[in-house]
Amino acid sequence: MRIPIHLQREISRLYFHTPEQSSRAISRSIGVAANTVSRLVDAIKKSNKSSEELNELDDDAWQVALSLTQRTRTTKENPDWAHIHQEMLRPEATREQLWREWKENNPNGIGYSQFTAGYRKWIGAQRLVMRQIHRPGDKMFTDFAGQTIEIRSMSGEASRYAQLFVAVMGCSNYTYLEAVWQQTSECWVSAQTNALEFFGGIPNWIVSDNLKAAVSRRERDRITINPAYSEFLRHYGAASLPTKPKSPKQNAKAEAGVQIAQRWVLFALRDRIFFSLEEANQEIRRLNIALNERPFKKMEGCRKSRFEALDLPALRPLSETRYVYANWRYAVRVGDDYLIEHQKSFYSVPWRYRGETVDVRFNDRMIEVFRKNVRIAIHAIINEIGGLSRIEDHMPAAHRNVLEGEPLALLRWAKSVGENAERMITYHLTERHDPTNGIRAARKMREISKLYGEERFEAVCTYALSLNITALRSIESIIKNDADLRARHIGALSQTINRTVHSDVRGPNYFGE
């Protein structure tokens, strides 16, 4: 199959997530052709493997387990669409139930995915506009309001403007509101995580527009979900349903929720002055509660009561752990030095993967490296341009032997230079918490000694250690700016002045006379 492995895995996840859903529904979610989805689902069924068994496979084993075979096409019967439409107008009617009833009398008829596609096509031909009916717990609609909230600075700097995130449950219209700084991937995922915790459960689908935080790329026949957002969905077992471009009716619930939020919340805050995002969110939470408890005008109850009666019982339980935001980079090449570059720092992977491509998961604390869905390395993030994190187990034996012998060679060299040079190099090789960077500093100091001379380097170390200075940059600055020489000159001049005694200066004997 030509689609990427990670998309095949997403199709598998969505199939096991709701086995009764159609291939076309999965197709809409991730932007892969329905026929392709159908073929992969058939292969999954024929493999007789569970979701857990498939997830444990690496990419090569995955392809072997899901070898596809061509299916023969046959002409099948179609139902009377006018009759189906009349039945769909009844309360609680579903396309699946009507298809099952029709299929019992027409065993050679079309399948469910063709049934739903044919019905949609028939509806389009009638040029009818139908009111959407949302099942309890099925969809959460999300969007950002067009208006923003001004957050002033107490120090007199320019104001910042926060975005208002809106999430609405499809059946009850129960609403969640939150102010965030930007429409970035991190803010988007954080707000969605808070929304799920506010609702106390997980819907089957999360509907959104095509903002970059949700959809990285949209082509005519494929949708690429933002990697960070895709991982968030996998963590909670939910599925994304991006709307078609220029199709506001598909996200009408969120659009209506945005309008209500702007009238009910933003208008109420129009004269309020906020100095922090948290202060604004405290007031938004108060108005959010009031909005959900406000009685409906044309039916009994309110958003909260309908949510508790309809949506909440149908939601799936939240995951045991809260999602921790992380981003992804795909197809990152490993260098011949078995290092990958990330944000101008370098991290090692096992040497046998040199020249390969890997996937990288990262946040502000750690970075993980995956090869064919198997984690091969994990590092703490380095907040230093040009920094290096190399794990000894990642190195081939020959490189480890060189590294183990190099510190001894550096120590022998420093001892030959002088006492303070030895103290300086010993610190970098044995006392630093990051020995890899300690070796790099010791190497650089040996280069400095070759450039300026060992005697001068010993003098610089003496001066630096007297001031408790050990940093490589400081050593470079001292020797380039002659700071140690100036200090030595000032000290010598002071001693000369103290030793000079003029004839006209009264000594202690003068006062004893």
pLDDT per position as a tens digit, 106-133: 888 888 999 999 888 887 776 544 455 6
CB atoms within 10 A of CB 145: 20
In the predicted structure, residue 504 carries a pLDDT above the cut 60:
no
pLDDT for residue 133: 62
Least confident of 72-81, 142-151, 276-285: 72-81
pLDDT for residue 499: 46
pLDDT for residue 501: 44
How much is the average pLDDT of 251-274?
A: 76
3-state DSSP assignment of residue 201? coil
3-state DSSP assignment of residue 176? strand
Domain locations in the chain as residue ranges: 5-65, 81-126, 139-314, 327-394, 397-498
In the predicted structure, residue 489 carries a pLDDT above the cut 80:
no
Token digits of residue 380: 């703490």
> How long is the chain?
513
Residues in Cβ contact with 2 at an 8 Å cutoff, skipping those fewer than 6 apart: none
Q: How far apart are CA 146 and CA 218, in angstroms?
A: 23
Backbone angles phi, psi at 417, to 5 degrees: -80, -45
How much is the average pLDDT of 131-145?
A: 80
Backbone angles phi, psi at 263, to 5 degrees: -80, -40
Token digits of residue 62: 């995955």
pLDDT single digits (tens) 23-44 = 888 888 888 888 888 888 888 8
User: Residue 92 burial (CB < 10 Å; 0-12/13-18/19+)?
Assistant: exposed
Q: How confident is the model at residue 414 (pLDDT cuts 50, 70, 90)?
A: very high
Q: How far apart are CA 345 and CA 386, in angstroms?
A: 5
Q: Any idea which fold 139-314 has?
A: Nucleotidyltransferase; domain 5 (3.30.420)
**Secondary structure tally for the chain: helices H, strands E:** 21, 14
Residues in Cβ contact with 125 at an 8 Å cutoff, skipping those fewer than 6 apart: none
| Alpha carbons within 13 A on the beta-carbon side of 33 | 7
Q: How far apart are CA 356 and CA 333, in angstroms?
A: 6
Interaxial angle between packed helices 34-47 and 112-126, expressed in degrees from 0 to 180 and rounded to the nearest 10? 160
Contact 160, 151 (CB under 8 A): yes
65 compared with 341, residue with greater pLDDT:
341
Q: How far apart are CA 468 and CA 471, in angstroms?
A: 10
pLDDT for residue 362: 92
Contact 262, 146 (CB under 8 A): yes
- Give percent above pLDDT 70 in the chain: 86
Torsion of CA 470, 474, 479, 485, to 10 degrees: -80
Sheet harboring 175-180: ordered strands across?
Answer: 175-180, 160-169, 139-151, 205-208, 239-242
pLDDT single digits (tens) 357-404 = 999 999 888 999 999 989 999 999 988 888 888 888 888 876 665 566
Backbone angles phi, psi at 393, to 5 degrees: -65, -20
